[in-house]
């Protein structure tokens, strides 16, 4: 099945689930691609989700550069990841080095500057819940299975008191795992530590419609439109501008102009302030 510029549609199936993957191949994009044609892919992703199918859009450079992480995300969507009950884990603050290393290895977008960092640790006594063959240091006292990072607060005045708004910047689970209730537990650890007025985050539309955030009490507050990136044809790395412009991108190397699918802005207001 092909779309206007030969975006490839692949269907994966497991015993309990199915996944529609729309792969954007770079050679086809360079020859025939346009934002208008890409919008047809975006519409197909939305249509698949609207009828209850799991669907993701994947650029070829993402697959080439982050293959292990992409495979893990696909396994998660298919429901075949190693399940770890979040109730067996312990949440606590972690330092910059631990958070950065974990996110670089387990998040598609890697690590980014943040202020507050929390991790979930599975104690050694519960290693027994892991499937045989799961890679782990048997001598370790615990295993970091999930992490989340948060921004500095933006402080506003509300009814004469400081109102603090934070951003959930990154969250990820260990490759090939599904920490059931993990993000909820990390959120609670952060809330108990910082007492925010609200928490804002973004759902990457290429991978989901943000259903997991809705289940945690987040509400949709806006849509961020597709953003342009310059893909270095030699290194297969992306460059972006915060204002969405490509006017001053460096053009000293061969590059390809590509776009992401945009994102959904979510906000969770603490119950006491609703």
Residue 224 belongs to a domain: yes
CATH number (domain holding residue 258): 3.40.630.30
Can you read off the two tokens belonging to residue 186? 């990390």
The tally of domains found in the chain comes to 1
Task: Please list the pLDDT of the chain residue by residue as tens digits (274 residues).
Answer: 344 454 688 898 888 889 999 999 999 999 888 888 899 999 999 999 999 999 999 999 999 999 999 999 999 999 999 999 999 999 999 999 999 999 999 999 999 999 999 999 999 999 999 998 888 888 899 999 999 999 999 998 877 788 999 999 999 999 999 999 999 999 999 999 999 999 999 999 999 999 999 999 999 999 999 999 999 999 999 988 655 455 555 556 689 999 999 999 999 998 644 3
Distance CA 147, CA 104 (A): 11
Residue 199 belongs to a domain: yes
Distance CA 22, CA 255 (A): 22
Distance CA 152, CA 55 (A): 33
Distance CA 200, CA 215 (A): 15
Residue 106 belongs to a domain: yes
Distance CA 214, CA 208 (A): 12
Q: Are strands 18-24 and 54-59 parallel, antiparallel or unpaired?
A: parallel
Residue 269 belongs to a domain: yes
Dihedral (C-alpha) 18, 120, 168, 230: value to the nearest 10 degrees? -60
Residue 68 belongs to a domain: no
Can you read off the two tokens belonging to residue 28? 């086809």
The boundaries of the domain holding residue 250 are 81-273
Residue 12 belongs to a domain: no
Residue 131 belongs to a domain: yes
Give the E-state strand segments of the chain in sequence order: 8-13, 18-24, 54-59, 82-85, 90-93, 116-123, 142-150, 154-158, 161-173, 177-180, 198-204, 219-224, 228-232, 238-239, 255-259, 263-269
Residue 25 belongs to a domain: no
**Whether the Cβ atoms of residue 189 and residue 150 lie closer than 8 Å to each other:** no
């Amino acid at each position: 099945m092909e779309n206007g510029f030969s975006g490839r549609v692949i269907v994966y199936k497991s015993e309990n689930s199915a996944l529609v993957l729309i792969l954007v191949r770079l050679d086809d994009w360079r020859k025939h691609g346009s934002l208008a044609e890409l919008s047809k892919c975006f519409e197909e992703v939305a249509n698949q989700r609207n009828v209850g199918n799991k669907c993701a859009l994947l650029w070829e450079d993402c697959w080439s550069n982050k293959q292990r992480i992409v495979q893990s995300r696909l396994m998660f969507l298919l429901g075949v990841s190693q399940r770890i009950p979040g109730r067996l884990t312990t949440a606590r603050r972690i330092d910059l080095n631990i958070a950065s290393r974990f996110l670089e290895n387990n998040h598609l977008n890697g690590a980014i500057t943040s202020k507050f960092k929390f991790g979930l640790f599975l104690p050694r006594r519960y290693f027994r819940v892991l499937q045989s063959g799961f890679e782990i240091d048997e001598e370790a006292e615990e295993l970091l299975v999930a992490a989340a990072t948060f921004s500095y607060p933006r402080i506003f005045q509300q009814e004469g008191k400081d109102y603090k708004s934070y951003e959930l910047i990154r969250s990820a689970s260990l490759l090939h795992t599904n920490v059931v209730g993990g993000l909820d537990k990390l959120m609670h650890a952060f809330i108990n530590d910082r007492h925010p007025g609200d928490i804002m985050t973004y759902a990457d539309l290429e991978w989901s419609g943000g259903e997991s955030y809705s289940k945690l009490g987040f509400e949709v507050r806006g849509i961020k439109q597709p953003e342009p990136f310059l893909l270095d044809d030699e290194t297969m790395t992306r460059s972006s501008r915060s204002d969405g412009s490509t006017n001053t991108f460096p053009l000293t190397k061969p590059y390809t102009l590509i776009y992401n699918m945009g994102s959904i802005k979510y906000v969770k207001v603490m119950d006491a302030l609703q």
